[in-house]
Structure 1
């Protein structure tokens, strides 16, 4: 049974923290709540205490609490500190080492791992100051869950909703799990890339990003730390991973380089081989003459080859090959050409339903072997790959 110190910040999403206490309790964790003054405007200490079965801490200068358990001891008595919701104010205090109440003092005095679930108005979330603070917290090793995109209590729509309690609880389980990938940094790319033709049109493919998300969740479940670089995929983003959103192949290449070094890299994204070199800044219009636009193409960066053959190469590099014919031969040739360790190949002819579907029929190609796996769900395929990766890294 793990001990969680749950810091509840002062935002409308605080009501979700009561559900989070339930979710963590169902998973066998003991939860000690800490409420900020602002949080008490949304939830009561009595409700948090009733759900957790534990005393609720509120005041830095409560002499009784200081005698029984000083704030430094309290900050270090847990296996994990979770801040949910993590407001813009709390994130700013954490990033700059400020402490003027119990919650911020606990966070500064601790050497316990910390996970935050941000929640705020979309404009506050996208503000440059918040993004700077977020980058600082990630560099400091703070795990981040969410935020989700959706309707706001203020009537706006966009990123800033606190992740759902079940997703946070699963991320907590992943963070606490002492699995075979504990302490390992795994870089995963996912989804399609969009290559602009003009401001409203682009070239893309049918990748849903489902296999990439499943891989990230499988690695997280084995205790790994995941940087998840994704194009504009339909699939949900993995809770507990550091998520980097990109659009084009060149943006993905830059994000991958920025995420290195890593112990392993899994390149699951369906990256466009070419981009439109003469993309228009204005929407292309038909003029009635029947003249078609002349699109000129240029090659995109070869991300897999660059990382496989680079100076900052991860210990294990895994590529994916989506093929419509000669699947094994093409995968073997790709592995040799790119210089990666493994290729996970699949037949993506339309009749297979694999690209954009819920299942995969993977073929694992290594330097010495070819393994044809049965048709499995993408979650099952991901777990097999993650387990093999853990064996290799051990």
Structure 2
């Protein structure tokens, strides 16, 4: 899967540079084209000549060393890459990238590339846990970067803990999975809209109605769909989650906002997966000023919000629509009814009263129902794994139905 793939390896200064040399060798053996960009600090650990010999390409170390007058080196190599990996990534390079600093060959190249960027941190356990480093990692997550989590073990400084750069063999497997998924999936190139999270229905400038949804299931689906090569738009209510890599993010607040965002993209979409927990009701009157408490009860009149799924079902032509049903009783009955009434192709149902299947958990227990009567109950698994299974069902639906061809 790596044959003729262009991998740009960014190497920053840490003792784990020796692993980057091994990674370069293994990538080349797997058929990839590898170019290496090194920081000055990285050159103190391993000579650029080592990476030149292993990659069979010149090694970039100086922004102002322009060997080819026909191109600008850091732009040229940034455009060349199919995938960029920073390994090892020090606290310094993570901080620079999070702040948009471009003061050497590696950082200027990273700001110029449009390829996916994966970051493999390597540092002392206390450095990795430092609030500043974690804050920078969070910023980069939101910017769409992917992290290859460091493992736990003996560190060069003598500490034992989290901070070891992931082993080259594991990184190679992640890269293979990345390219093979995009190459083989029936969802490759499809326009997929995913909705996620809660909505907020304003009462006054201080208060709103909402629900317990965190958006984890929708975000997992968006991330997995992107890995399969789809063009993903994630329409999300308010959450605290990091944005998935290479996914278009459309933030919304209310049910009306989400209705408009979904409907405006529906004609160009191939698949809509609607996981968002959209409010069924909203206050009929929104107050301009904070409501002051008074003696006795408070009555707030509610009115129905627009039914997004039902509207999509009524408008669909060749799109595939997947709904979600979060229930506490009669799960199958309600899911089957929703599947028919809203003209869906597939619905994913779960009982949020079950342990491990409720809002805010990292796991889920789902059953998938199809229009043709086919159904599949899945056991307790992580939401990321559940997302992969749901998308496998969607891909199968695409192949069986002949839609989107």
How many Å separate the matches in 1 of 2:196 and 2:255? 11
Structure 2's unaligned 5+ residue stretches are: 53-58, 87-93, 103-107, 119-129, 150-170, 400-405
Distance in 2, matches of 1:3 and 1:264, equals: 30
Structure 1 residues 353 and 361, CA, compared in 2 at 3 Å: closer, same or farther? closer
Residues 196 and 68 from structure 1, CA distance in 2 versus in 1: closer, same or farther, beyond 3 angstroms? closer
Counterpart pick for 2:362 among 344, 358, 364: 358
> Contact conserved, 2:235 with 2:250, CA < 8 A, in 1?
yes
**Residue 215 of structure 1: how far off its partner (Å):** 1.6
Residues 321 and 345, structure 1, Cα contact 8 Å, conserved in 2: yes
1:166 to 115, 127, 148: 148
Q: CA deviation at 1:192?
A: 1.4
| Partner of residue 292, structure 1 | 297
Q: Tell me which residue corresponds to 1:4.
A: 7
Is 1:340 matched up with 2:338? Answer: no
1:381 paired to 2:383? no
Give the SS at the match of 1:255.
Answer: helix
The residue number in structure 2 matching 1:239 is: 245
Name the TM-score, length of structure 2 as normaliser. Answer: 0.64
Secondary structure at the aligned position of 1:53 is classed as helix
The Cα shift of 1:270 comes to 1.0
**Cα separation, partners in 2 of 1:72 and 1:213, compared to 1, 3 Å:** closer
Which runs of 5 or more structure 1 residues have no equivalent in the other structure? Answer: 9-13, 91-101, 108-112, 118-149
Which residue does 2:274 correspond to in 1?
Answer: 267
CA contact (8 A) 1:22 1:52 kept: no
SS at match of 1:291: coil
| Separation of aligned partners in 2, 1:24 and 1:232 | 43
CA contact (8 A) 2:191 2:232 kept: yes
Shift of 1:49: 7.3
1:363–1:370 Cα contact (<8 Å) kept? no
Question: How many residues in Structure 1 have an aligned counterpart in Structure 2?
Answer: 331
Please report how far the alpha carbon of residue 334 of structure 1 lies from its aligned counterpart in structure 2 after TM superposition: 0.9
Deviation at 1:386, TM superposition (A): 0.8
- 2:195 counterpart residue number: 189
Contact 1:265 1:314 in 2 (8 A): no
The alignment partner of 1:178 has SS state of helix
Q: Secondary structure at the match of 1:114?
A: coil
Write the distance in 1 (CA, Å) between the matches of 2:248 and 2:50.
29
Change (3 A) 1:359 1:67: closer
Q: Distance in 2 between matches of 1:358 and 1:104?
A: 32
Report deviation, 1:351: 6.0
What TM-score results when the alignment is normalised by the length of structure 1? 0.66
> In 2, Cα distance between the equivalents of 1:24 and 1:251?
50
Counterpart Cα distance in 2 of 1:44 and 1:230: 40
Q: Deviations over 1:239-260 (max 9, x none)?
A: 3322222221112122223444
- The correspondence for 1:53, drawn from 43, 51, 54, is 51
Deviations 1:216-246 (A, max 9, x none): 2322232222211111234443233222222
Residue 216 in structure 1 maps to residue 245 in structure 2: no
1-structure distance, mates of 2:83, 2:244: 20
State the partner residue of 2:334: 330
1:335/1:341 contact within 8 Å kept: yes
How far did residue 338 of structure 1 move? 1.0
1:189 is displaced (CA, Å) by: 0.8
CA RMSD after TM alignment? 4.6
Between the aligned partners of 2:21 and 2:309, the Cα distance in structure 1 is 39
Instruction: Report what 2:205 is aligned to.
Output: 199
Work out which of the residue numbers 289, 309, 317 in structure 2 matches 1:282: 289
Q: Which residue of 2 aligns with 1:392?
A: 397
CA contact (8 A) 1:194 1:248 kept: yes
What SS class does the counterpart of residue 35 from structure 2 fall into?
strand
1:78 positional shift: 3.7
CA deviation vs aligned residue, 1:149-190 (integer Å, no higher than 9, x gap): x9779x99x9677646438x9799647732312212211111
